[in-house]
């Protein structure tokens, strides 16, 4: 992982149409933003990730993560603000989230638990037009579980940067988990996960679920 200090972790829900629909949600008309504490971050470099099964299903959500390298201003060029990208997992306690949603409660217990944001290695940001068509993929035990490309985002990264910058503020060291494509599912004990960027592994871990 980069030695840049991580400040705020913004995450986008339902940013891919097919994923919104697979969970029975409406496709949003503006970005759905939530945050995770910095304690959610852990590396994904072949390590084992221990998770608790006590609160029900833990789902994987593979996402492109953009790292912000400079402070946002209204006239900032989003392309200039991104100083790296990675693939990360937005781990989600899905049963907990379903109960919270039914009661209209905040998502923190489902999305913000310690270790809920594993991150692969940092890569140079190729620019929005190149990024759009680069495939990213999550293999579970060698089998494709999720596959996506930035072109399918409902709100592209530049739009997310403006939206978050205006409403919440955005500065150097902030991360944006940009949402997950379809294919999310519950992790099983012993699962081996590999995150692929353009076919190359850029993060991996083994899940220990107890």
Instruction: Check binding of 137 to Zn ion (CB under 5 A).
Output: no
Of the candidate residues 8, 35, 180, 194, the single one contacting Zn ion (CB under 5 A): 180
Q: With respect to Zn ion, which residue has the nearer C-beta, 178 or 194?
A: 178
Residue 49 in contact with residue 208, Cβ under 8 Å?
Answer: yes
Burial class (CB in 10 A: 0-12, 13-18, 19+), 156: middle
Furthest-apart CA pair in the chain: how many Å?
A: 48
Helices (H), the chain: 17-22, 78-81, 94-103, 108-111, 128-132, 157-167
Residue number closest to Zn ion, CB atom: 90
Which of these segments, 21-29, 34-42, 117-125, 172-180, binds Zn ion (CB under 5 A)? 172-180
Nearer to Zn ion, 32 or 172 (CB): 32
User: Sign of the CA dihedral 176, 163, 183, 108?
Assistant: positive
Exposure on the CB side of residue 118, measured as CA atoms within 13 A? 26
Q: Is 61 in the site for Zn ion (CB under 5 A)?
A: yes
CB of 144 to Zn ion, least distance (A): 18
Please identify, among the stretches 52-60, 131-139, 173-181, 197-205, the one whose residues bind Zn ion according to the rule CB under 5 A: 173-181
When binding is defined by CB under 5 A, the residue of 19, 90, 116, 196 that contacts Zn ion is 90
Q: Smaller CB distance to Zn ion: residue 97 or 180?
A: 180
- Mention every residue, 6+ apart, whose C-beta is less than 8 A from residue 145: 60, 62, 138, 139, 183, 185
Where does this chain touch Zn ion (CB under 5 A) — which range of 28-36, 82-90, 114-122, 126-134? 82-90
Total residues binding Zn ion (CB under 5 A): 3
Smallest distance, Zn ion to C-beta of residue 71, A: 25
* Site of interaction with Zn ion (CB under 5 A): 61, 90, 180
């Amino acid at each position: 992982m980069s030695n840049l200090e991580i400040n705020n972790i913004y995450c986008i829900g339902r940013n891919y149409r097919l994923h919104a629909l697979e969970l029975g949600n409406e496709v949003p008309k503006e970005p759905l933003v939530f945050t995770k504490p910095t304690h959610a971050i852990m590396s994904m470099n072949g390590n084992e990730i221990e998770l608790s099964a006590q609160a029900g299903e833990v789902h994987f959500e593979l996402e492109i993560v953009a790292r912000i390298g400079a402070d946002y201003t209204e006239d900032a060029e989003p392309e200039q603000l991104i100083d790296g990208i990675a693939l990360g997992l937005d781990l989600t306690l899905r049963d907990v989230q379903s109960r919270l949603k039914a009661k209209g409660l905040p998502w923190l217990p489902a999305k913000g638990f310690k270790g809920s944001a594993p991150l692969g290695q940092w890569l140079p940001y190729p620019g929005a037009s190149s990024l759009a068509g680069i495939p990213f993929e999550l293999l579970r035990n060698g089998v494709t579980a999720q596959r996506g490309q930035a072109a399918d985002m409902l709100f592209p990264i530049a739009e997310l940067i403006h939206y978050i910058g205006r409403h919440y503020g955005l500065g150097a060291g902030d991360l944006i988990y940009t949402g997950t494509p379809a294919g999310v599912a519950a992790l099983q004990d012993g699962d081996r996960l590999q995150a692929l960027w353009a076919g190359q592994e850029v993060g991996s871990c083994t899940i220990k679920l107890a």
